[in-house]
Amino acid sequence: MRILFGSGEPYLPSVRGGAECSVDELVRALGGDGHACEVVVGIRRGAPRRWHRVRRLLSANRSIARRDLRNGYPTQRAVPRAVVAALRERLAVFRPDLVVGWNRVSEELAREAARASIPSLVWVHDATLTWSHGRLPPEPTTRIAAVSEFLARRVRERLGRSVAVLRPFIQLEDYRCEARRPEFVTFVNPREAKGVEIALAIAERLPARRFLFVGSQGLLARERTALAARVARQRNIRVERHVSDMRTVYARTALLLVPSLCEDAAPRVILEAHVNGIPVVASQVGGIPEVSGGAAVLLPASAPPARWAAEVERLLDEPAWLAEVASRSRANASRPELGSAAILAAFLRLASPHVPAA
């Protein structure tokens, strides 16, 4: 099968979010299974956009997108407003059997695919549904999948259409640490929506514990400045930049905090931590209970910081409780339906009948 993936968002290696990692790992697995895949995405703000404009002026073929193989497969990158045109160009040249869109401009990509009589699949990763404007082509031309049962219900309610569940594709073995020296309570992606205020309040109440805040590539300059100012007043917090190999973080993590205020659909960090037996204390919102499989310690996002701090301290201070939660965490990461082989098979079960039906 020939599959063209597309999004208006920036992509790896410049941006490494949950959706981007899931797409990347799925594309690699499909390639290993004998399928031909390409990706069309947007680029980040700044100099690269100027490069694209100059290239278009000088290029003999006036190609809309810049092609590279940095991820190990063809990736076409265009300025966000030109992503749809770049996809249109690849539809004519690559001639895919299926188009898979995620996040921004998913509807536009599906509509372009429909005009070319090519079936499409919209893979929804985000509960905000900002890509939806009520212009999605009908079935059987376009199908919808979501990364969790929670999100599938949300999309069904919003769009009134059937929605399959296609969980995030995670090669969990790639996140397993060979050796660990746990020392930190770790919090990834310190943003307001992810509960940075809760994490800061927990650290303030537990001055004897060491905290590690790991930034994301999506942090805005004002968010980094505000975080630096807050952390300067709390000596037990260490801030590090985002890293491409999260094993270097998990190897030092004793406990993971996921105090999200937003409705996270299926946060990968929970499973990445669980495969290492790292206990998770998280918000009981969105798809987090579903992903954690009963293994995480869940609290209402509205719970007072004192209660969050008490649960963290109890885990770290009671070895028997810590060992029990760690064992449940490993068991959760071992669920067959979360394995990469099962999710690859689920994708092919969705795609294979969809192509001839559409």
* pLDDT reported for residue 225: 80
CA 281, 284, 288, 294: dihedral to nearest 10 degrees?
Answer: 70
pLDDT at 53 over 70: no
* pLDDT reported for residue 118: 97
Q: For the residues 249-263, what does the mean pLDDT come to? A: 98
Q: Closest by alpha carbon to 179, among 124, 248, 267, 92?
A: 248
* pLDDT reported for residue 218: 67
pLDDT at 52 over 90: no
What is the band of 222 on the pLDDT scale with cuts at 50, 70, 90? confident
Range name among 21-25, 44-48, 56-60 with the lowest pLDDT average: 56-60
pLDDT at 54 over 50: no
* pLDDT reported for residue 77: 96
- When comparing pLDDT for 203 and 217, which is higher? 203
Percentage of the residues of the chain whose pLDDT score is greater than 70: 94
Q: For the residues 234-249, what does the mean pLDDT come to? A: 94
Q: For the residues 136-145, what does the mean pLDDT come to? A: 96
* pLDDT reported for residue 232: 84
285 to each of 36, 127, 171, 309, how far by Cα in Å?
A: 37, 11, 25, 18
- Strands 75-78, 66-68: pairing is antiparallel
pLDDT at 168 over 60: yes
List, for residues 339-349, the tens digit of each pLDDT value.
999 999 999 99
Q: Please, what are the domains in the chain? A: 2-170+339-357 (3.40.50.2000), 174-335 (3.40.50.2000)
Q: For the residues 293-313, what does the mean pLDDT come to? A: 97
* pLDDT reported for residue 223: 80
Q: Closest by alpha carbon to 38, among 68, 78, 8?
A: 68
